[in-house]
């Protein structure tokens, strides 16, 4: 996730709740200590919207929080402040708490043979390799304006179309998938001290989801996605051959003409009631339009 996105979401969270612990921020955004210090400096010193409490909690010091606004009377002044607060939250669309129904392209990317890799490397060396892999993937995903929603061990959950939507989100997702496979093959850092090159499996599916905040207390996800779409993408990733990108029919229809694909036929995916037609993306077609 981009630094600016973390800043925006943290500000929105604080404006809504008033207080957020550093532990909650680290869990929510998977932050390391250096990233957390940069985040604190940005919103405490640069933007001057929060203060530090005992080195454990961020406290909102900007305009009144959402809860305070809702508790105010029904007078005109209260209405104006509520309207201003709502307008500000609209600009932070990625952190809006309301559930939203929309079409989304989801990509799952998983590192092949991570268990075997852990037996080849010292834990510190393994961490260095995994972090380099994650950073490389994040750079490719960012290039196509995808949203890296979560690190799942050595896997990645990525959204294309939320929080920022584009007409060609399915194409962006496939470009990113091919880009990750290509970058893995070319990166010398990822393949040093290893018995064999690192490989990934990538699955992509497009479908309807409900996006919004999930969880409670200090454990919350501001960009949680609910629906069958992430499950299908995850299952497609599981059946992919190493260093390949596998997509569903729904995604194929949106990218047809722009990429050369191989029809792999219907596959039975775990947890999915009916067989799903599956395609492997081979390369870009070079076409300027789908026709």
User: 119-152: per-residue pLDDT in tens?
Assistant: 777 788 888 888 888 889 999 999 999 999 888 8
- Name the residue with higher pLDDT: 234 or 98: 234
Q: Report the half-sphere exposure of 30 (CA within 13 A, side-chain side).
A: 12
- The C-alpha atoms of residue 220 and residue 28 are separated, in whole angstroms, by 7
Residue 30 — pLDDT band, cuts 50, 70, 90? confident
Percent of all residues in the chain with a pLDDT value above 90, rounded to a whole number:
31
| pLDDT, tens only, 170-185 | 999 999 999 999 998 8
Domain residue limits, the chain: 3-95, 100-284
3-state helix, strand, coil in the chain (%, to 5): 45, 30, 25
Predicted pLDDT at 191: 56
**Is there a contact between 259 and 288 (Cβ–Cβ < 8 Å)?**
no
Q: What local confidence, expressed as pLDDT, does residue 72 receive?
A: 47
Question: What is the predicted pLDDT for the residue at 77?
Answer: 45
Rounded CA gap, 131 and 133, in Å? 5
Residue 167 CA to residue 165 CA, distance in Å, equals 7
Q: If you average pLDDT over every residue of the chain, what do you get? A: 79
Mean local confidence (pLDDT), 83-99:
44
| 141 half-sphere exposure, CB direction, 13 A CA radius | 25
Dihedral (Cα; 83, 57, 32, 108), 10-degree rounding: -40
Report, as an integer, the average pLDDT of 103-126.
84
Average pLDDT of the residues in 208-224: 62
Residue 267 φ/ψ, nearest 5 degrees:
-130, 145
Nearest to 145 by CA among 133, 156, 161, 167: 161
Per CATH, the number for 100-284 is 3.30.70.1230
For the question of whether the overall pTM of this predicted structure is more than 0.95, the answer is: no
* CATH code, residues 3-95: 1.10.10
Note the pLDDT of residue 96.
46
Is the confidence at residue 202, as pLDDT, over 70? Answer: yes
Q: What is the pLDDT of residues 235-252, one digit of tens each?
A: 999 999 999 999 999 999
Query: pLDDT confidence of 283, banded at 50, 70, 90?
Result: very high
Helix axes 3-17, 33-40, angle to 10 degrees: 60
pLDDT of residue 190: 57
d(CA 20, CA 2): 20
Choice among 20-29, 94-103, 107-116, 225-234 with the minimum mean pLDDT:
94-103
**Residues 58, 20: Cα–Cα separation, whole Å:** 5
Specify the pLDDT at position 223.
57
């Amino acid at each position: 996730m981009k630094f600016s996105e973390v800043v925006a979401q943290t500000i929105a969270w604080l404006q809504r709740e008033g207080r957020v612990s550093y532990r909650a921020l680290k869990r929510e955004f998977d932050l390391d200590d250096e990233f957390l210090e940069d985040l604190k400096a940005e919103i405490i010193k640069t933007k001057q919207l929060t203060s530090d409490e005992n080195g454990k909690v961020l406290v909102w010091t900007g305009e009144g929080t959402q809860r305070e606004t809702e508790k105010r009377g029904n007078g005109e002044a209260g209405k104006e402040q509520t309207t201003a607060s709502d307008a500000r939250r609209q600009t932070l669309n990625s952190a809006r708490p309301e559930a939203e129904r929309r079409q989304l392209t989801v990509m799952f990317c998983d590192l092949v043979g991570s268990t075997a890799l852990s037996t080849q490397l010292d834990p510190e060396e393994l961490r260095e390799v995994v972090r380099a892999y994650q950073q490389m993937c994040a750079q490719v995903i960012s290039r196509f304006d995808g949203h890296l929603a979560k690190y799942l061990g050595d896997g990645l959950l990525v959204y294309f179309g939320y929080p920022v939507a584009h007409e060609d989100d399915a194409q962006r997702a496939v470009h990113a998938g091919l880009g990750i496979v290509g970058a893995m093959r070319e990166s010398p850092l990822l393949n040093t001290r290893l018995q064999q090159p690192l490989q990934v499996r990538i699955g992509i599916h497009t479908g309807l989801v409900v996006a919004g905040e999930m969880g409670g207390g200090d454990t919350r996800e501001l960009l949680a996605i609910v629906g069958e779409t992430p499950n299908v993408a995850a299952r497609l990733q599981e059946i992919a051959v190493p260093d390949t990108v596998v997509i569903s029919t729904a995604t194929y229809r949106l990218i047809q003409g722009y990429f050369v694909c191989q029809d792999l036929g219907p596959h039975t995916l775990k947890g999915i009631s009916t067989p799903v037609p599956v395609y492997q993306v081979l390369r870009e077609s070079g076409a300027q339009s789908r026709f």
